[in-house]
Amino acid sequence: MNLQALSLHHAISFPSLNPNNSTRLGFRLPSHRGFKIASVMSPQHTWTQTWKTDVLHLIDETEESLFKTGKFGRFGGVFVPETLVTCLNMLLSEFSFCLNDPHFQGELATALRDYVGRETPLYFAQRLTDHYNNGRGEGPEIYLKREDLNHGGAHKINNAIAQAMLAKRMGRRSIVAATGAGQHGVATAAACAKLDMECTIIMGDVDVARQSHNVRLMKLLGAQVKSIKGSFKDATSEAIREWVGDLERKYYLAGTAVGPHPCPAMVREFQSVIGKETRKQAMEKWGGKPDVLVACVGSGSNALGLFHEFVRDEDVRLIGVEAAGTGIDGGTHSATLAKGEIGVYHGAMTYLLQDDEGQIVGPHSVGVGLEYPGVSPELSFLRDIGRAEIHTVTDEEALDAYALLCRLEGICPALEASHALAHLGKLCSTLPSGTKVVVNCSGRGDKDIETVFKHQQQKSSGELISF
């Protein structure tokens, strides 16, 4: 299927694009004022049998056409310069081949088992469950999917190792990737060390300063770290530029489920092992499925990794939790699905945080990995059709959730995952007793200890901490 047939104006009817955006990979739409794209479902739609059928139908349709069109409903796509289209085409066919190649799958399974440390446990958090019980001992049962136990301490490695293996198979010698918080950079550097591949990680200078520990880790693992002016969004653009400049040798390793097709599908596919294991483990543990899945959403890779397996299970609720930062109204945040508007960014149509002029708004969160102004097109789709619910949690709430899990379970979650955990505060009281809730503990929080420390120090000037 010729991806070139997918014209830039296919399925969109927008005002003319701003020509000044041509230097960037994505195209920022001009002013959106008063421009609303009709939602497939109105938010007030009730959960009726018809709706369920409609939702499933949409999901099935999307899945069938995904590989050809790269679209999730109207989201996704291939909004890229001509030079990249052939390359993406090649990537897509290689990826499809690998999915069905038992040799590749076997090697990947071994790497996931022996190198990454899978399967990760589905852990029943007794004390956390008790904490959210009402006075009579009733309440949901909380399970944590322990992606924090992976090599590297987060879910990122699932995708990094698989794509690095894919790249090696395609004969590429050199990997280039962009990272913000640094987790994807570290995972990529580790995978490249293991597979004996050259590795260049591009980071915005803002992030290089903030994430010095992760920068050190990347260098230790043998990667070259290039600092460029700006933040993650600029680093991504630069990484893609480097890739375009040397398509024969280089491979762009996307860390998030964003970007032009096939990147979102690929990342989701490689992360979907999380959900697959969860289904099996839930069956072993209680002979059923989870009732509710909760995951934090930055760009959406860990959430999709958990959700994807259950998207067709109508009785499984999917809850994504975004970062409300210092406040969802007027404050700085990173709640793209909650507060963003549709546009094209880094090659895909999706929700993004943009101002009235269509300029990308710099996001903020105490969970640095959630600081992304866009979000996965697939999640945008799932949210629009009402399949996934999106909520937000502030920095304060996330920090409190971090401390709570440490104290109750002896697990220090990443501040990103703490957002998902914080949402339990609002969620649990609404759930019937015995509801099975699975929270994706997407990373460990050793990297955040200093942030939490500084925060507590600031608080202690006003409050007493129990020391």
Partner 1 sequence: MAFAASSSSAATARTSAQSDLAFRIPSNPPKFAKFAPSISRRSPPISCKMAATAVVDMELDAEALQRPDAFGRFGRFGGKYVPETLMAALTELEAAFNSLATDHEFQKELDGILKDYVGRESPLYFAERLTQHYKRHDGTGPHVYLKREDLNHTGAHKINNAVAQALLAKRLGKKRIIAETGAGQHGVATATVCARFGLECIIYMGAQDMERQALNVFRMRLLGAEVRAVHSGTATLKDATSEAIRDWVTNVETTHYILGSVAGPHPYPMMVREFHKVIGQETRKQALEKWGGKPDVIVACIGGGSNAMGIFHEFVEDEDVRLIGVEAAGFGLDSGKHAATLTKGEIGVLHGAMSYLLQDEDGQIIEPHSISAGLDYPGVGPEHSFLKDLGRAEYHSITDEEALEAFKRLSRLEGIIPALETSHALAYLEKLCPTLPDGTKVVLNCSGRGDKDVHTAINYLKL
Which positions lie near partner 1, rule CB under 8 A? 113-115, 117, 120-124, 127, 146, 149-151, 153, 189-194, 196, 213, 216-217, 219-222, 403, 406-412, 446, 449-450, 452-453, 456, 467
Specify the residue, 10 or 280, whose C-beta has the smaller distance to partner 1: 280
* Kind and range of the H or E run holding 104: helix 102-110
Specify the residue, 10 or 285, whose C-beta has the smaller distance to partner 1: 285
Specify the residue, 24 or 455, whose C-beta has the smaller distance to partner 1: 455
Specify the residue, 132 or 372, whose C-beta has the smaller distance to partner 1: 132
- Residue 48: phi, psi to the nearest 5? -105, 170
> Is the sign of the CA dihedral 317, 318, 322, 328 positive or negative?
negative
Give the Å distances, CA to CA, from 92 to 95, 161, 184, 263. 5, 17, 22, 9
Specify the residue, 117 or 425, whose C-beta has the smaller distance to partner 1: 117
Least distance to partner 1 from the beta carbon of 258, Å? 25
- Give the chain's length: 467
Least distance to partner 1 from the beta carbon of 164, Å? 10
Specify the residue, 193 or 206, whose C-beta has the smaller distance to partner 1: 193
What are 186's two structure tokens?
């570290």
What are 214's two structure tokens?
């992760």
What are 10's two structure tokens?
């296919």
DSSP-derived letter for residue 319 is: E
- Residue 311: phi, psi to the nearest 5? -60, -35
> Counting Cβ atoms within 10 Å, is residue 236 exposed (0-12), middle (13-18) or buried (19+)?
buried
Least distance to partner 1 from the beta carbon of 325, Å? 23
Specify the residue, 51 or 124, whose C-beta has the smaller distance to partner 1: 124
Least distance to partner 1 from the beta carbon of 403, Å? 6
Least distance to partner 1 from the beta carbon of 38, Å? 46
Say how many C-beta atoms besides its own lie within 10 A of residue 107's C-beta.
15
Do residues 291 and 315 lie in contact, with contact meaning Cβ atoms separated by under 8 Å? yes
> Counting Cβ atoms within 10 Å, is residue 21 exposed (0-12), middle (13-18) or buried (19+)?
middle
Least distance to partner 1 from the beta carbon of 106, Å? 14
Least distance to partner 1 from the beta carbon of 126, Å? 9
Least distance to partner 1 from the beta carbon of 410, Å? 4
Residue 458 and residue 297: Cα distance in Å, rounded? 27
Specify the residue, 254 or 404, whose C-beta has the smaller distance to partner 1: 404
For residue 253, give the nearest of 197, 336, 322, 194 by alpha carbon: 197
